[in-house]
């Protein structure tokens, strides 16, 4: 099957491959954009086609209103993705993106559609585990930013030091944390696909127990692997993480 070449604001494919055996959909962390995954096609098998998910309110969709609730986003994105789920596919999600991809997999199952052949979750507590408290999405901006830096080492210095960039960046971050902190997990049977979970050894926001708890969300195989680094270790091109992902796709 060939990849669709028409422009879709929700996703991009840096290297369309008519001979792809697997389509890997990559979902961003809170406040994240497609740039985090833009070079992954250079590191993964040539027959894996990488699709980068771009949510509203950031990047080239900056002027669009961001979602503030998971359920409408899951329903919308599931509908958007459906035409491109015409070959075997896998989901990769970083932090918030892992919860989003998990809920899309469950939505596909509710619709009796084919689900992912593999779910990759990175730096994200299992969905049935409680969100960190105190909640931060309604905090004043200075306190909100301080908590993001303390918990996740988030927000690059070049953005922190630029008031104009901060004002552009804040709405989607606050919207994403509103989604995360109002998310309500509902119990359903485990997924049929394998789940692989990746964590950072220096990630102070996510405990290993909360990563291990993803095991309860699959009736297939489960693997947890830890890597040097914090919540954003996967952005380090020197990390052995991408080689590990290569071996599993």
Three-state DSSP class for residue 153: coil
Residue 67 DSSP one-character state: P
Supply 45's token pair.
Answer: 């098998």
Average pLDDT for 202-228: 97
Tell me the fold of 11-130+187-248: Rossmann fold (3.40.50)
Query: pLDDT by residue (tens digit) across 106-125?
Result: 999 999 999 999 999 999 99
State the pTM of this model.
Answer: 0.94
Query: pLDDT by residue (tens digit) across 12-29?
Result: 999 999 999 999 999 999
| Whether residue 95 lies in the annotated active site | yes
Query: pLDDT by residue (tens digit) across 30-77?
Result: 999 999 899 999 999 999 999 999 999 999 999 999 999 999 999 999
**Mean pLDDT over all residues of the chain?**
93
Three-state DSSP class for residue 69: coil
Q: What are the boundaries of each domain within the chain? A: 11-130+187-248
The catalytic residue among 41, 95, 101, 196 is 95
Q: How far apart are CA 52 and CA 35, in angstroms?
A: 9
């Amino acid at each position: 099957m060939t990849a669709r070449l028409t422009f879709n604001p929700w996703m991009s494919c840096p290297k369309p491959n008519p001979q792809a055996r697997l389509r890997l959909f990559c979902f961003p962390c809170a406040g994240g954009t497609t740039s985090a995954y833009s070079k992954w096609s250079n590191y993964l098998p040539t027959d894996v086609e990488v699709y980068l998910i771009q949510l509203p309110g950031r990047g080239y969709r900056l002027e669009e209103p961001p979602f503030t609730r998971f359920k409408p986003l899951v329903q919308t994105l599931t509908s958007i993705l459906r035409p491109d789920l015409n070959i075997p596919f896998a989901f990769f999600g970083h932090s918030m993106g892992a919860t989003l991809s998990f809920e899309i997999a469950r939505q596909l199952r509710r619709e009796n559609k084919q689900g992912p052949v593999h779910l990759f979750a990175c730096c994200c507590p299992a969905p049935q585990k409680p969100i960190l408290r105190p909640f931060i999405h309604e905090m004043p901006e200075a306190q909100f930013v301080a908590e993001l830096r303390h918990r996740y080492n988030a927000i690059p210095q070049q953005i922190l030091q630029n008031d104009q960039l901060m004002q552009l960046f804040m709405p989607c971050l606050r919207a994403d944390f509103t989604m995360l902190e109002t998310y309500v997990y509902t119990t359903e049977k485990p997924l049929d696909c394998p789940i692989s979970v990746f964590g950072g050894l220096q990630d102070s926001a996510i405990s290993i127990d909360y990563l291990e708890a993803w095991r309860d969300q699959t009736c297939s195989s489960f693997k947890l692997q830890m890597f040097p680094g914090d919540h954003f270790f996967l952005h380090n091109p020197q990390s052995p993480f991408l080689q590990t992902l290569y071996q599993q796709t």
